[in-house]
């Protein structure tokens, strides 16, 4: 029984200490300091103050009973200028204390090397548009493997590469706010893939034999359902949506070193119609394809919601990754909404998504690295909505595991605690623990959902009696039926 349960967080969202002890600025420090950029003028300057609360955080994780904790490293806390000629020993101490605390409590660290907070010094040379970042990211990763790899056995290179490329360089909504929807996202993704592969090979060549860990990247995936399942054009549109969102990164890595055929075809074709001399989607050489193929040991992903997709004839101008997909998305208004526009609680979508990964990529070992719901409120210790979300999503994950034979190895809830929600500041809340951001000590309080999640972990799944009783209360009869059918609802 090696199923792993955990919770996740990320550096900029929880650490605070934005300029403490020699840390260099990141693009998120600078962005959040510009008035008007973040809701309510919030910043991550202090956040949950996790930089000063290693013991408290480890204590709470132990109380939850998690088997793993996924956090990310702040690159500019370790290398203030982004390069290995500026090493900040205080930053390294912080992560050593955190990792040691976890290991001492039998909690496996899952460490993400990049969760969006690029050192500003590297943005100044072009950020992920510059191929210089491939070497620089590799040298940061190399240092982290060397420094922490004796205790860290699970690495993630990029959190949500599609968000980095599209929101950061296409739509321009997130830092570095480059608004070049037709071409920059493709160029950036090309560099991210090469950087990912380089780091994988560094691990393979220098560390795997002695450290014996795994390494992957972590795409964001929404499940999509064709609007009219009997219309082949909608079915194709749904597949196309997933290929542009996920396959963009996972097709090269898990399949043949190259982008999905449908992306090459659509972007190529449209670039021709746009009278461009070549496709806006860059091309890998045969050597690069060989280098990229196979560079993930496990399949990690984050998921929050589902959508409905229909095919669409989109405009040719302005050039855009979004139009290139030739799809329209919407949600079903009957799906429960949440504090994040577009995030609806659609638990059955997770089961379908897990099955899609299984079919598409040959049943790899799968880890759900982030899953959770945002609620808009200041004090939601009594968070039944979140309990409902976790109960139903975990139930669907269990069905995929037990009934469909999906090779699911782990489930992580987002989030360990309320934290800085990027453009939305500190409202909405995703945490299993409430954090009082008005109190300088940032006290944490377990919510009801934390108690519930701890019980799930203890049972390695949903306790049967609990499932039936509480689901009865919610009058979700189809799930009652399901639990009677399944009997034992645990990962075993
Ligand atoms: C990100 C998290 C974020 C969450 C909820 C995910 O896409 O990885 O950092 O907090 O969404 O918005």
CA of 74 to the centre of ligand 1 (A): 16
- Cβ within 8 Å of residue 261, ≥6 positions away: none
Ligand 1 neighbourhood includes 220 CB (under 6 angstroms) = yes
Are 438 and 40 in contact by the 8 Å Cβ rule? The answer is no
Ligand 1 neighbourhood includes 339 CB (under 6 angstroms) = no
Distance CA 261, CA 268 (A): 10
Q: Over the stretch 242-251, which tens digit does the pLDDT of each residue have?
A: 999 999 999 9
Find the DSSP H helices in 16-159. 27-32, 54-64, 75-78, 89-104, 120-123, 132-148
Q: Over the stretch 13-59, which tens digit does the pLDDT of each residue have?
A: 999 999 999 999 999 999 999 999 999 999 999 999 999 999 999 99
Ligand 1 neighbourhood includes 419 CB (under 6 angstroms) = no
CA of 163 to the centre of ligand 1 (A): 10
On the question of a cis peptide bond just before residue 203, with omega within 30 degrees of 0, the verdict is no
Q: Which atom of ligand 1 is nearest to the CA of 10?
A: 9
Ligand 1 neighbourhood includes 4 CB (under 6 angstroms) = no
Q: Which atom of ligand 1 is nearest to the CA of 430?
A: 5
Strands laid side by side in the 68-72 sheet: 214-218, 154-159, 108-114, 68-72, 4-8, 408-413, 366-370, 299-302
Active site residues: 370
Ligand 1 neighbourhood includes 159 CB (under 6 angstroms) = yes
Q: What is the CA radius of gyration of the chain?
A: 22
Strands 68-72 and 108-114: parallel
CA of 148 to the centre of ligand 1 (A): 25
Distance CA 25, CA 9 (A): 20
Distance CA 31, CA 477 (A): 48
Ligand 1 neighbourhood includes 320 CB (under 6 angstroms) = no
Encode the chain (492 residues) as per-residue pLDDT tens digits.
589 999 999 999 999 999 999 999 999 999 999 999 999 999 999 999 999 999 999 999 999 999 999 999 999 999 999 999 999 999 999 999 999 999 999 999 999 999 999 999 999 999 999 999 999 999 999 999 999 999 999 999 999 999 999 999 999 999 999 999 999 999 999 999 999 999 999 999 999 999 999 999 999 999 999 999 999 999 999 999 999 999 999 999 999 999 999 999 999 999 999 999 999 999 999 999 999 999 999 999 999 999 999 999 999 999 999 999 999 999 999 999 999 999 999 999 999 999 999 999 999 999 999 999 999 987 789 999 999 999 999 999 999 999 999 999 999 999 999 999 999 999 999 999 999 999 999 999 999 999 999 999 999 999 876 555 555 555 544 444 444 434 456 776
Choose one of 7, 217, 302 to mutate for the ligand 1 pocket test, by most ligand atoms within 8 angstroms of C-beta. Answer: 302
Distance CA 90, CA 135 (A): 24
Strands 327-330 and 306-311: antiparallel
Task: Indicate the helix (H) or strand (E) that contains 301.
Answer: strand 299-302
Nearest to residue 350, comparing CAs of 292, 391, 296, 290? 391
Q: How many CB atoms lie within 10 A of CB 484?
A: 11
CA 240 from centre of chain: 21
CA of 14 to the centre of ligand 1 (A): 12
Ligand 1 neighbourhood includes 222 CB (under 6 angstroms) = no
Q: What is the pTM of this model?
A: 0.95
DSSP class of 22? G
């Amino acid at each position: 029984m090696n199923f792993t349960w955990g919770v996740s967080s990320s550096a900029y969202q929880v650490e605070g200490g934005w300029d403490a002890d020699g840390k260099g600025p990141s693009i998120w420090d600078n962005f959040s300091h510009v008035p008007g950029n973040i809701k309510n003028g919030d910043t991550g300057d202090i956040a949950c103050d996790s930089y000063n609360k290693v013991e408290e955080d480890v204590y709470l994780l132990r109380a939850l009973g998690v088997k793993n904790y996924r956090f990310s490293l702040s690159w500019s806390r370790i290398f203030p200028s982004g390069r290995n000629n500026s090493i900040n020993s205080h930053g390294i101490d912080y992560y050593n204390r955190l990792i040691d605390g976890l290991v001492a409590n039998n909690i496996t660290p899952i460490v993400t090397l990049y969760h969006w907070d690029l050192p500003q010094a590297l943005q100044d040379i072009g950020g992920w548009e510059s191929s210089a970042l491939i070497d620089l990211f590799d040298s940061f990763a190399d240092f982290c493997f060397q420094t922490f790899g004796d205790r860290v056995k699970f690495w993630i290179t990029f959190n949500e590469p599609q968000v980095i490329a599209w929101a950061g360089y296409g739509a321009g909504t997130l830092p570095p706010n480059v608004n070049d929807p037709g071409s920059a996202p493709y160029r950036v993704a090309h560099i991210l893939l090469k950087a990912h592969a380089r780091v994988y090979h560094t691990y393979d060549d220098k560390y795997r034999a002695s450290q014996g860990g795994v390494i992957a990247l972590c795409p964001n995936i929404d499940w999509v359902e064709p609007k009219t399942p009997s219309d082949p054009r909608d079915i194709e549109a749904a597949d196309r949506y997933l290929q542009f969102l996920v396959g963009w990164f996972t097709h090269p890595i898990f399949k043949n070193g190259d982008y999905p055929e449908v992306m090459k075809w659509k972007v190529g074709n449209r670039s021709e119609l746009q009278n461009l001399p070549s496709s806006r989607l860059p091309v890998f050489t045969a050597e690069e394809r060989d280098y990229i193929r196979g560079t993930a040991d496990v399949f990690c992903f984050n998921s929050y919601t589902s959508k409905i997709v229909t095919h669409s004839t989109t405009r040719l101008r302005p050039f855009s990754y979004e139009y290139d997909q030739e799809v329209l998305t919407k949600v079903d208004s009957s799906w429960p909404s949440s504090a994040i526009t577009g995030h609806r609680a659609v638990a059955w979508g997770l089961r379908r998504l897990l099955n899609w990964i299984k079919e598409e990529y040959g049943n790899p070992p799968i880890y759900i690295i982030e899953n959770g719901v945002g609620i808009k409120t200041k004090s939601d210790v009594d968070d039944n909505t979140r309990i409902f979300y976790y109960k139903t999503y975990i139930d669907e994950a269990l069905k995929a595991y037990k009934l469909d034979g999906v090779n699911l190895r782990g489930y992580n809830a987002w989030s360990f605690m309320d934290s800085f929600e990027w453009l939305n500041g500190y409202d909405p809340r995703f945490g299993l623990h409430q954090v009082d951001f008005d109190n300088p000590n940032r006290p944490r309080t377990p919510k009801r959902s934390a108690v519930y999640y701890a019980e799930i972990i203890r049972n390695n799944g949903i306790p049967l009696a609990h499932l039936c009783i509480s689901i009865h209360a919610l009058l979700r009869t189809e799930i009652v039926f399901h639990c009677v059918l399944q009997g034992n609802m645990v990962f075993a």
